[in-house]
Chain A
């Protein structure tokens, strides 16, 4: 190989390295850019239940139950505290999870949250215990179906009427 050819090869190699590296970098950038985060109308929404008063946020993706109270040393059950509705025609998985709680938490004997397919029907998933801070596990809501969230509250015998707790749960929708 003569000197001129070697020089050509060197120049071509240098340009090649630049072009390949730059192209790979652009492709990598595009790979990240090609995932736009759009807005989708939610297919899972909350619906107020008959047993409580609740406020729903915009798009019904947030719900605040304001009228629940438990009894000392006796279980109070709200069978239709809130509803979770799947507005889509396809089934979707949801999971109700503990997030946080505050107030006179030490005076609570238990707060159980359960999901039912109808009022007094079959329980879906497992029981969420606020004290254990667990979740209901994955519950599949069939298309165009509403499930019912039941709350069971029991205060300790010594709980005063001035006591209260605030519980925040999260609904995970994959």
Chain B
């Protein structure tokens, strides 16, 4: 296997968390189940992550790697918890089983898998199965976002075929 692994900084988890929060903000905006403020709250969480990263940069000499990893991983865990939370909300509160299932397979599962992959990369234990799973889940994520964001367009396109 070629040497793909570069040394990841703990802040990469922060970056990943920011991306997940942004994805949540955009998804909750286009889905009809959520209030307007929810999207802005997720966007604010992403901005908070960015501020966190700036602080991490400023205090890189003072903070040890363990501390940096701790707060970055906590942020990513929060983002993942929100992804799962949205999934549970769709399933339990909204009783929208179809959307919840689609969300779980196209958003929740890929995001968890992507996080697990980078976590293993950080720990320098990359497995081939995880890499293959990552590629397939990234594809699923892309398709999933398309389905969730523009379902009418997809239906229209599929109907035309």
Residues of B with C-beta under 8 A to A24: 15
B26:A13 contact, CB within 8 angstroms: yes
Chain B minimum-CB-distance residue to A29 = B57
A19:B36 contact, CB within 8 angstroms: no
Contact digits for B93-125, partner A, Cβ 8 Å, 1 yes 0 no: 000000000000000000000000000000000
Residues of B with C-beta under 8 A to A34: 9, 60
- Flag whether B39 is at the interface (Cβ < 8 A): yes
Known: A27-B15, A33-B60. A12 touches B53 (CB 8 A): no
Number of interface residues of A (CB under 8 A): 20
Q: Tally of A-B residue pairs with Cβ under 8 A?
A: 64
- Flag whether B5 is at the interface (Cβ < 8 A): no
- Flag whether A132 is at the interface (Cβ < 8 A): no
B46:A30 contact, CB within 8 angstroms: no
B56:A30 contact, CB within 8 angstroms: yes
A24 to B9, CA, bound (A): 12
A16 to B40, CA, bound (A): 11
B57:A19 contact, CB within 8 angstroms: no
A29 to B15, CA, bound (A): 13
Contact of A12 among B26, B56, B57, B60 (CB under 8 A): B26
Residues of B with C-beta under 8 A to A19: 18, 22, 43, 46-47, 49-50
CB distance from B133 to the nearest CB of A (A): 24
Residues of A with C-beta under 8 A to B40: 12
Residues of B with C-beta under 8 A to A12: 25-26, 29, 39-40, 43
CB distance from A56 to the nearest CB of B (A): 35
Chain B minimum-CB-distance residue to A9 = B29
Residues of B with C-beta under 8 A to A33: 57, 60
Contact digits for B114-140, partner A, Cβ 8 Å, 1 yes 0 no: 000000000000000000000000000
A27 to B53, CA, bound (A): 8
- Flag whether A39 is at the interface (Cβ < 8 A): no
- Flag whether A173 is at the interface (Cβ < 8 A): no
Residues of B with C-beta under 8 A to A37: none
Chain A minimum-CB-distance residue to B30 = A9
